[in-house]
Amino acid sequence: MVEIKDISVNRKMSLRTALSMLDRTALGLLLLVDEDGKFERTVTDGDIRRLLLSGVQIDGVLDLLPSIQSLVVSDGTSRREALNLMNEKVINHLPVINELGQVVRILDRKEIDGQILLSTPHMGQNEKEFVEEAFRTNWIAPLGPNVDAFEKELADVVDIKFAAALSSGTAAIHLALRLLDVGQGDLVFCSTLTFAASANPIIYQGAEPVFIDSDLESWNMSAIALEKAFVWAESIGRLPKAVIVVNLYGQSADMDTLLAICNKYSVPIIEDAAESLGAKYKGKASGTFGKIGIYSFNGNKIITTSGGGMLVSNDRALVEKARFLATQARDPAPHYQHSQLGYNYRMSNILAGIGRGQLKVLQDRVESRRAIFNAYKEGLADIKSIEWMPEPSWSYSTHWLSALTLDPSQTKITGMEVVQRLASEMIEARPLWKPMHLQPLFSQYKYFSHDLKSISDQIFEMGICLPSGSNMSASNLNRVIEELRKILI
């Protein structure tokens, strides 16, 4: 940090003094101030060169510097505004002035030009090796040894018998519905508080989603709402073909309770563990409780293949059928013969190579994300309006995204306002998922709430998630905490 007094000059000072001051600071910039310390303009090497060329001697004074309006910003200016101004004027420094017109500090582009993103890819040491191996052996095209190994290695990590590597988590959900024979006119229950990719495949299959509320304990599917939906479905003689249970923000749903209900009605669960790879429920890997589980390796997830997904199950026949359907459902015949509708949903051998490398650092990534969540909790412990996403005793959450809600009895500020204020400081926070039953696309479908008042609506209205990337630096983490303190205190 430069001291303002070390770079302040006045019109009575000599060119020589100014030049030697410039020489001592790395900034390339002096501040011309009047007797009261009020800022007048900036002075650069070029300004002094021009004075010399116009005939002023090196021991002459700065008095002849023309009066110009230098660009300044006021103390409350956001990082985003300041950076926009620097970009527009092609400058790297901006003096910040107070009400008295005095410079209080200098904004340096290098220091402020840093966007903090929500969740970015975080590569380890081994990904390139696996990808290079694929190049060396020309296993570029779909399938190959990386795909087989990635499936096996992931299955081992989550302790399940079989896995099929696919092009996305969405493709995995779609195949799961196909495998459970979901078709035209069937009902599928689905958590409402989730990303649209959980529910869209229900529509791909011509089936009808029924959305289920969350509970406050885990933010995941409410057993009470699920039971209500089953009672209704039974009363109209249309039990669902499947229940899609979503594990939000790195946390498992209360699987034993949900399984007990589904088993009572003999309806299988598809566990959408796109966000919960690495999490545990009662000590066992999230994603392995349903008849079928799915994971995502999209770019923002806890580990990534740039894009990809996995379908897992302990049922060999299901996973083999998933692989078959994902490779265009080609019958075993010498010619191209098809008796079922297939898809091009397999993961390529290149991307599976990235996945193998990422899997090696999964536990590190989980620990980093949990540490980030704890740092937020500690750094903001005194802020009464924040309620952190709860973690029930049976849950080991990865805290894929650090999520919180604001207590409206403690603060007037809304989640959306916090997101906007952080954005102006170049920090990317997001509202929580907007529940599916509130989406225009799904507005005609049935919804069962936990209580008279919908829990997911409340969580959505007051919630946000914070930057949570496992590669976020400690100083960036502190920056987010500091900004949140300014906004919420």
Ligand X SMILES: *Cc1c(COP(=O)(O)O)cnc(C)c1O
Among residues 448, 164, 464, 88, the alpha carbon closest in space to that of 327 is found at 164
Site for ligand X in 306-335 (CB under 6 A): 309
Q: Which of 246, 258, 322, 436 contacts ligand X by CB under 6 A? A: 246
Question: To the nearest whole angstrom, how small is the minimum distance from the Cβ of residue 198 to ligand X?
Answer: 4
**Choice from 40, 275, 457, 483 touching ligand X (CB under 6 A):** 275
Residue 417: φ, ψ to 5°: -65, -40
Nearer to ligand X, 94 or 347 (CB): 347
Convert 334-361 to b/e letters by CB count within 10 Å (16 or more is b).
eeeeeeeebbebbbbbbbbbbbbbbbbb
Give dist(CA 164, CA 186) in Å, integer. 25
Stretch that binds ligand X, among 32-40, 142-150, 271-279, 335-343 (CB under 6 A): 271-279
Q: Does 154 bind ligand X (CB under 6 A)?
A: no
Residue 358 binds to ligand X (criterion: CB under 6 A) = no
Answer yes or no: are the C-beta atoms of 114 and 426 closer than 8 Å. Answer: yes
Per-residue burial over 457-477, b = 16 or more CB atoms within 10 Å of its CB, e = otherwise = bebbbbbbbbbbbbebeeebb
CB of 173 to ligand X, least distance (A): 6
Q: What are the CA-CA distances from residue 79 to residues 86, 108, 183, 309, 465 (Å)?
A: 11, 11, 52, 37, 21
Residue with Cβ nearer ligand X (198 or 313): 198
* Residue 42 vs 170, nearer CB to ligand X: 170
Q: Which three-class secondary structure state does DSSP give residue 407?
A: coil
Convert residues 189-228 into a mask of x (bound to ligand X by CB under 6 A) and - (unbound): -----xx-xx------------------------------
Nearer to ligand X, 195 or 289 (CB): 195
Site membership for ligand X, residue 456 (CB under 6 A): no
CB of 213 to ligand X, least distance (A): 16
Q: Is 21 exposed, middle or buried (0-12, 13-18, 19+ CB in 10 A)?
A: middle
Return the amino acid letter for 224.
I
Comparison of 65 and 258: residue with beta carbon closer to ligand X: 258
- Total of chain residues touching ligand X, rule CB under 6 A: 14
Can residue 469 be called a binding residue for ligand X (CB under 6 A)?
no
Residue with Cβ nearer ligand X (246 or 426)? 246
Closest residue to ligand X, judged by C-beta, is 169
Report the DSSP beta bridge partners of residue 406.
386
Q: Identify the residue among 160, 225, 274, 459 touching ligand X (CB under 6 A).
A: 274
Q: How far apart are the first and last CA of the chain?
A: 27
Closest by CA position to 433, among listed 469, 410, 464: 464
Residue 252 touching ligand X (CB under 6 A): no
Q: Considering the complex, what minimum distance in angstroms separates the CB of residue 432 from ligand X?
A: 12
Our finding on whether 298 is near ligand X (CB under 6 A) is yes
Looking at the Cβ atoms of 254 and 425, the one nearer to ligand X is 254
Site for ligand X in 159-188 (CB under 6 A): 168-170
Residue pair 35/10 in contact by the 8 Å Cβ criterion: yes
- d(C-alpha 374, C-alpha 391), whole Å: 12
Between 107 and 429, CB nearer to ligand X: 429
State which residue, 220 or 313, has the beta carbon closest to ligand X: 220
Binding status of residue 296 toward ligand X by CB under 6 A: yes
The residues near 484 (Cβ < 8 Å, ≥ 6 apart) are: 380, 383, 418, 422, 466
Provide the β-strand partners of residue 486. Answer: none
Give me the residues that bind ligand X (CB under 6 A), please: 168-170, 194-195, 197-198, 246, 272, 274-275, 296, 298, 309
